[in-house]
Amino acid sequence: MPRDVITVFNLTASREQIIQPILHAIRAESTAEQPEQAVTVKGQVNVPGKYPLEPGMHIAGLIRAGGGLANGAYTGRAELTRYYVGPHGVRHTMIYPINLAQALAGNPQANVRLEPYDVLTVAEVSQWGRQPTVILKGQVRFPGTYTIRPGETLKSVIERPGD
């Protein structure tokens, strides 16, 4: 009798209630020879977190599991952190740059196959969430909050509402 279950998630809603029991079962089944089959996505995805590692899972699959890229995601470069145990039983860390745009386009060199414990970090576009503003009050024609551009002067901001 089949035991597979297909779950459809809301794009940005938390998946924790459904995924945590699965991750707990995966962790309970893991051994030194068969490590925990889970991977993590951090940063600019809609639902960052730890996800079950599916057989043959690649970078693009992990981005899908995380609800897709957030609006401010920088697709030019992400980082894949991979851990491995060396010959003397010491854990080592490798960090690989990933061109996310190419990985999502299906480029096999960029869309790396994932391994247990991999962590993908998706960066944010520089200055994405920053919109500096100034509040004009007092003897101005149109008081209010105005977005300013880099290098803009107070005079130009004051003159702008009067146009």
Residue with tokens 């994932």: 114
Q: What are the structural domains, with CATH classification, of the chain?
A: 16-124 (3.10.560.10), 133-162 (no CATH)
Q: What is the mean pLDDT of residues 58-80?
A: 94
Kindly report the pTM of this predicted structure.
Answer: 0.70
Tell me the per-residue pLDDT of 149-160, one tens digit each, with 9 for 90 and over: 888 888 888 887
23-29 long-range contacts, CB within 8 A, separation 24+: 23/50, 23/52, 26/52
Burial label, 53 (beta-carbon count in 10 A; 0-12, 13-18, 19+): buried
The pLDDT of residue 75 is: 94
Tell me the per-residue pLDDT of 70-94, one tens digit each, with 9 for 90 and over: 999 999 999 999 998 888 888 899 9
What does DSSP assign to residue 58? Answer: B
| Residue 99's pLDDT band (cuts 50, 70, 90) | very high
Does pLDDT of 147 surpass 90?
no
Indicate the residue type of 39. Answer: V
